[in-house]
Amino acid sequence: MLFNPTPLERLTTLTEDLITKHTRAEQELQALREEIVSIRAHAKSKDDEIERLTADLAEKDNEIEAIVAKIESLLG
């Protein structure tokens, strides 16, 4: 005997499937939001490190310029 669902049973099944898919999509969305937050924090950390290294490099450049100026003044 074949199962012939009533319209209400079909609607119930479809509704349950939609709710399941919606719940799964919400979970995936939340996971993606958390990943975005993590990636942004990592990027901020890298930006801060780049800024610090750039400042260090500028300081070293100034030190080199001062040394070169002293050498040039000694050489005349």
Over residues 22-39, the pLDDT tens digits come to 999 999 999 999 999 999
Residue 17, classed as helix, strand or coil, is helix
pLDDT of res. 2: 62
Q: Can you list the residues of the chain whose pLDDT is less than 70? A: 1-2
**CA separation for the pair 66, 56 (Å, rounded):** 15
- In the chain, count of helices (H) and strands (E)? 1, 0
